[in-house]
Amino acid sequence: NAGVTQTPKFQVLKTGQSMTLQCAQDMNHNSMYWYRQDPGMGLRLIYYSASEGTTDKGEVPNGYNVSRLNKREFSLRLESAAPSQTSVYFCASTDRGLSTEAFFGQGTRLTVV
Amino acid sequence: RKEVEQDPGPFNVPEGATVAFNCTYSNSASQSFFWYRQDCRKEPKLLMSVYSSGNEDGRFTAQLNRASQYISLLIRDSKLSDSATYLCVVNLSHLSGGYNKLIFGAGTRLAVHP
């Protein structure tokens, strides 16, 4: 049981380049999330998808786009990377139910130079 | 104002100490509450849910005060292995049609030393 799989684990981009972070879960969860984590800032919600077919902005959506491709997959795209997007990105998923546990991918360490 | 605010830390304590972390949340309609643990350069993992009546899991006790919008985590008899960052989490499912929407605090770092 893989849980939540994120790719890639590490990435270095030049300013202005684009890339897509991939996330897939095999737990049949309804909701999926993208967070970024910066030192001292905790996890900040970028976008989330409450259910298949819906996406909503979180706290820090600027510079990002998302696609909920199907129930399993939720991708995050940086159209024109900026140094301020250097961060660790985590994908997560939850089932319905108020006490459900969130499962995370291992994270993507992105550096924009 | 942030949705979830925590003690900034870090907390440096000796083995065997009791340590308490506090957390406040701004949205009174928040539905459910959690503490997650994050080890250095790893993904967060659920430590425990927090219930209105308070709940205990071994050396860990969580409390919720809905009137004050305050959550706490108490760790008794600290172990070296407790060293980690502890994240307070609030579920704003009422804002997403009943689906979960988890908001994390910035985390409090705990360092337990011999």
d(CA A64, CA A47): 8
* Contact criterion met (CB below 8 Å) for B85 and B108: yes
Q: Is A92 left (phi over 0), alpha (psi -120 to 50) or beta?
A: beta
Tokens of B15: 């083995």
Q: Which residue has the tokens 């994390």?
A: B104
* Contact criterion met (CB below 8 Å) for B65 and B27: no
Mean pLDDT of chain B: 91
Question: Predicted confidence band at A2 (pLDDT cuts at 50, 70, 90)?
Answer: confident
Give the pLDDT score at A36.
Answer: 96
The answer on pLDDT for B93 being more than 80 is no
**B26 Cβ under 8 Å from any chain A Cβ:** no
Highest mean pLDDT among A88-92, A94-98, B3-7: A88-92
Angle at B89 between CA A28 and CA A43, to 5 degrees: 85
Least-confidence region, from A27-31, B32-36, B72-76, B94-98: B94-98
Mean pLDDT of B5-21: 93
- Best of B42, B64, B104, B108 to substitute, by most chain A Cβ atoms within 10 angstroms, is B104
pLDDT tens-digit series, residues A34-81: 999 998 778 999 999 988 889 999 989 999 999 998 999 999 999 999
Q: Which of A56, A94, A107 sits opposite B102 (nearest CB)?
A: A94
Q: Would you call B107 and A106 a contact, using CB atoms and an 8 Å cutoff?
A: no
Mean pLDDT of B13-26: 96
d(CA B66, CA B91): 13
Work out the number of other CB atoms within 10 angstroms of the CB of residue A6: 22
Task: Identify the contact set of chain A against chain B, taking CB-CB distances under 8 A.
Answer: 30-31, 33, 35, 40-45, 48, 50-51, 56, 59, 90, 92, 94-102, 104-107
Tokens of B87: 């994240």
Question: Predicted confidence band at B89 (pLDDT cuts at 50, 70, 90)?
Answer: very high
Percentage above 70 pLDDT, chain B: 96
- Best of B53, B99, B108 to substitute, by most chain A Cβ atoms within 10 angstroms, is B99
pLDDT tens-digit series, residues B29-85: 888 899 999 999 899 999 999 988 889 999 999 999 999 999 999 999 999 999 999
Give the pLDDT score at A96.
Answer: 78
Give the pLDDT score at B58.
Answer: 96
Q: Is A72 left (phi over 0), alpha (psi -120 to 50) or beta?
A: alpha
Q: Which of B42, B103, B107 sits opposite A45 (nearest CB)?
A: B103
Q: Please enumerate in sequence order all residues whose Cβ is within 8 A of that of A68, keeping only pairs 6 or more positions apart, or say none.
A: A32, A49, A52, A53, A54, A55, A74
Question: Predicted confidence band at B99 (pLDDT cuts at 50, 70, 90)?
Answer: confident
Mean pLDDT of chain A: 93
Q: Which of A43, A44, A98 sits opposite B32 (nearest CB)?
A: A98
Q: Which of A42, A97, A105 sits opposite B106 (nearest CB)?
A: A42
The answer on pLDDT for A1 being more than 80 is no
